[in-house]
Structure 1
Amino acid sequence: MKNVTLKVEGMSCGHCVNSVEGAVKKLGASGKVDLNAKSVTVEFDESKVSLEAIKEAIEDQGYDVVK
């Protein structure tokens, strides 16, 4: 399993947390949002899902992955 912390712009509330964590979960990964740090820490199996797919899923929810 790989852990990556991504900087995500545009999150400000509980709905944002649920949207981002839900999008990551649908891919078979787990994510934990930190609103104060404007980041999400994702744990995923690289053989099942790519980091690029995770970033795309978050961006599809309307947020910007900046790192």
Structure 2
Amino acid sequence: MSQTLKLAIDGMHCGSCVNRVTNALKKVEGVEVKQVDIGSAEVEFDETKTQPEQIAESVNRIGFNARQN
């Protein structure tokens, strides 16, 4: 079943940051990126393949601070 997750993301300042976050989210199995803007992201995810914590961690690993919004 698909769930929606909204993330608040600190540390994003430009279009390059948006691209980096988008690419990191796309690499998470079961995630479909809906929208990424400076400071936020919205994705749909398959809860049988990943969880919100894993999705946020994929963003944190590239140097940003993501948390559920």
* TM-score greater than 0.5 by the shorter chain: yes
For residues 16-45 of structure 1, the C-alpha deviation after alignment (integer angstroms, 9 at most, x for no partner) is 11111111110131222122xx11001110
1:28-67 to structure 2, matched below 5 A, reads 28=29, 29-31=31-33, 32-35=35-38, 38-67=39-68
Deviation at 1:64, TM superposition (A): 0.5
CA distance in 2, matches of 1:66, 1:44: 15
- TM-score normalised by length of structure 1: 0.86
Stretches of 4+ aligned residues off by more than 2 angstroms: none
Q: Report sequence identity in percent.
A: 38
Q: Contact (CA 8 Å) 2:7, 2:41: kept in 1 or not? A: yes
Q: Contact (CA 8 Å) 1:6, 1:65: kept in 2 or not? A: yes
- Structure 2: which 5+ runs fail to align? none
Q: CA RMSD in A?
A: 1.2
More strand by share: 2
Q: Contact (CA 8 Å) 1:30, 1:43: kept in 2 or not? A: yes
CA distance in 2, matches of 1:66, 1:41: 12
